[in-house]
Structure 1
C-alpha cells in the first residue's frame, strides 16, 4: 500500500519586509503549504490540514496538494514577516488574526483523513500533544515535528523532552535551538537533544544557508549536510519545505542520510523564487539530479 502524507499547520498570507528595505505584500504562504510542497517535490500529493479563509488563492496548488481537509474560516491568518541581517526571521500576527489558535488545526482534524506519515509544523505549544496523540491513535507510522521559538521561553526542558520522545523526527530550526540552549551551537544542541531523546529516529537542527546538522538514533557520528548552492531569492518557507521532504525521504528509504538529502533538495527549490512558484513547479526528475549532486558533499562530526 502506498504511504499517504499530511501536513498539519497553518495557511497564511504574509507581508514581508526584507533586510534591504524592500517589501512584498500579500504573499500566499503558511508552514503547512510549504511542508506539503516539500513532499510534492518527490511526487507525493500530500494533504494540507490547516484552516483557511476565502481570500487565500488555493487554486494554483490544487494539482500538487490535496486541499479537501482545510476547514473554512471567515478570513486567513495574516503575518508580518520581518527579516534580520543574520538570516533569522520573525513572524508577527496582524491585529485581525492575532489569536493563532483560531487558525490552527485541532486534534479532531486528524480524523478527516488518513495519513501514514504526518508533519506537524510550528503551532501554539498547547496544540502539539493533542495532535501527536490523535495521530498515534489513528495509526500514523511516522510523525515529524518542528517548533516555534516564540513559545519555548514559556515551557521547561522536561516538557520539550516529553514532546521530543513522542515523535520520530524532531526538526527544530537554529532559532529554536538557541531558544532552548542559549549557550550552545547547533551541534551541541543536537547532542543535548539526543541525550534527552535517545530513541528518536532522527534529530536535526536546520541552519538555513549553513545547511543542517543531525544525528540518527544509535549512530556513532552525527551528519553535517550543506545547503545546495543555488541563487537565493527568498528563504521564506525553506525550513518547512525541508521538513516535508525529509519526512518523505525517511518514509521511503528508512535511511536518515537519504531523508536529510530529500529535505535539503526540496528546500533548494523553495529559495529560488519569491513565494512558492519555483517549488510548486519542481519535478521529481529535477530533484533526483540535485540529490545525486548533494550526496557526495555530506560529512560527519563526533557525537
Structure 2
C-alpha cells in the first residue's frame, strides 16, 4: 500500500487561446470544475497505475468537499482518515492556454488546517510501502509525516511544490526528491538541471529532475545517472502531468522495477495524461500504461 499525505482541491479550470497578461481580459473557450490538488492527484495516479492507496488530508464541509471525497472513493482509494473540517475546501484556479501550458493559483482552504498527524495517520504511514508528500499542506505537518515514515523505515517521496525553502529536518527524511527543473533551480541556485541534480544528491539519496517535454534526469548517491526521454505526444493539457509521473513512479518502485524501467513507466503515464484535459480526469489506468510501454 502507498500512503499519500497531501492536498485535495477543486480545480476551477478556464481554457483560453492565450493566457491574459496583467490587467488584461480575454475570452475563454471552456470552463470545467475538476477534482484535483497535488495530493489527491498523486493518489489517483497511483491507484489507477495499480497500487492500493490510502489518502490522508482534509476537505471542507462544503459541496466541493463532498465531490472530492467521492472521486477518491471512485478511484478505489482508502479515505477513512480523510478529515472533514468546518469551512471551505481547497481550490485551485487554473488557466490553460492553447498550447496546453498552465498557470495556477491555489487557495488552501481545509488543507491549510492540517497542521499535525493523528495517531491513526502515523499507523497508516507505518504500514505503507511508501509515503508520497507535496507542499500544499503546512510545512510542519509535511515534516512530521516524513519523520514518522523515516522512523518506521518507510521510503519518503517528496514533490517540492509549490516551490519554497525546505527545512533540514524534512530533507533528512526524504528518500527520493522529485522536483521539476524550475523547482530544482530554486532549491540549488543552479539553472542547469544536471548540476542541480548533483547538488540535490548532497542532501537526499535519490533525485529525479523532471524536464517536461525534454524527459527526466535521475541520480543516486551510489553513482547511478540516467536520462529518460519524454514520450513524444501532442499535449492538450499539462495540468497534473507531474503528479501523474510521481504517482506512477511510486507504483513502479513499489513493484521492484529498476530505475530505468520505473522512469519509463512513469514517463508513459505522464505522456498519456497530457493528451486529455483536466487533472484527475486525465490520468491513465494500468492497462493503458502497459499497452503503451
Q: Into which bin does the TM-score normalised by the smaller protein fall?
A: 0.7 to 0.9
> 1:212/1:51 Cα in 2 relative to 1: closer, same or farther (>3 Å)?
same
Report the equivalent of 2:213.
209
Residue of 253, 260, 265 corresponding to 1:262: 265
What SS does structure 2 have at the residue aligned with 1:151? coil
Which among 154, 160, 168 is matched to residue 141 of structure 1? 154
User: Matches of residues 15-54 of structure 1 in structure 2 within 5 Å?
Assistant: 15-17=12-14, 20-21=17-18, 22=28, 24-53=31-60, 54=62
1:1-303 matches, within 5 Å, as: 4-17=1-14, 20-21=17-18, 22=28, 24-53=31-60, 54-56=62-64, 57=67, 58-64=69-75, 65-73=77-85, 74-82=87-95, 89-94=102-107, 97=108, 101-102=112-113, 104=114, 106-108=116-118, 110-111=121-122, 113=124, 114-123=127-136, 124-137=138-151, 139-152=152-165, 159=167, 162-197=169-204, 200=205, 202-220=206-224, 222-253=225-256, 255-275=258-278, 276-279=280-283, 282-291=284-293
Residue by residue over 1:33-54, the C-alpha shift from the partner in whole angstroms, topping out at 9 and shown as x without a partner, is: 2111221233113111121134
Change (3 A) 1:84 1:177: farther
How far is 1:147 from its partner?
0.7
Deviation digits for residues 49-69 of structure 1 (CA, Å, limit 9, x no counterpart): 121134232334424222222
Shift of 1:171: 0.7
- Partners of 1:217 and 1:50 lie apart in 2 by 32
> How big is the alpha-carbon RMSD for the aligned residues of Structure 1 and Structure 2?
2.7
1:277 is displaced (CA, Å) by 2.2
Q: Is the 8 A contact 1:15 1:25 kept in 2?
A: yes
CA distance in 2 between counterparts of 1:20 and 1:111 reads: 45
Aligned residues: 272
How far the C-alpha of 1:149 sits from its partner, in A, is 4.2
CA contact (8 A) 1:190 1:204 kept: yes
Q: Distance in 1 between matches of 2:110 and 2:106?
A: 8
> Does the 8 Å CA contact 2:6/2:133 hold for their aligned counterparts?
yes
TM (norm. structure 1) is 0.78
- Aligned to 2:207, the other structure's residue is in SS state strand
Instruction: Note the residue ranges of structure 1 that are not aligned, 5 or more in a row.
Output: 292-303
- Asked if the contact 2:89/2:109 (under 8 Å) is kept, the reply is no
Conserved in 1, the CA contact under 8 Å of 2:129 and 2:155? yes
